[in-house]
Amino acid sequence: MKGYTRQFDFLGFTFKPQTSTYQREGKDVLFLGYDCMMSQKSKTRILEGWKRMKLNRQSSLTIQEIATKVESQTRGIIRYYGKYNRWKLQRVMWYFQRHLVKWALNRYKRFKRSYDRAYQWLKQIKQQYPNMFYH
């Protein structure tokens, strides 16, 4: 069986065999099937794009300006890759939040290099303005 690959990438998704379960007569039944998820190449491309934006160095921008700057990109990412296994996008969105926290640390001196306080502030902003960021 030369040339047989267990996983392959197609249109930004990786298809590979994974175990899944389903209920049959009240019991969980395991089976092996192909499932898709966001490919590692796509994750790397998105994260490199955010890194190239250098959000943490643009301390002159407000958080609203950053939100409008990245809204169309995050909307497209979530709509395309969120069709299947939306929960697997959480890691990518976590990296975006980390960039926002680094921006907040550079912009507001009251955080004094405290990632915890910056994350709490960002969480508070997301609660007060739930529609500011698409994610």
Query: pLDDT tens digits, residue range 34-85?
Result: 777 888 899 999 999 989 988 888 888 888 998 898 898 889 988 888 887 7
Q: In whole angstroms, what is the distance from residue 116 CA to residue 12 CA?
A: 34
pTM: 0.74
Share of the chain above pLDDT 70, in %: 96
Q: Residues 10-33, buried b or exposed e (16+ Cβ, 10 A)? A: eebbbbeeeeeeeeeeeeeeeeee
Burial class (CB in 10 A: 0-12, 13-18, 19+), 135: middle
Q: In whole angstroms, what is the distance from residue 108 CA to residue 125 CA?
A: 14
Q: Do residues 126 and 118 touch, judged by C-beta distance below 8 A?
A: no
pLDDT of res. 101 = 92
pLDDT of res. 5 = 60
Q: Helices 90-107 and 115-128: crossing angle, nearest 10°?
A: 110
Q: Which residues contact 119 (CB under 8 A, 6 or more apart)?
A: 97, 101
pLDDT of res. 4 = 55
pLDDT of res. 120 = 93
Query: Which residue has tokens 């009251």?
Result: 110
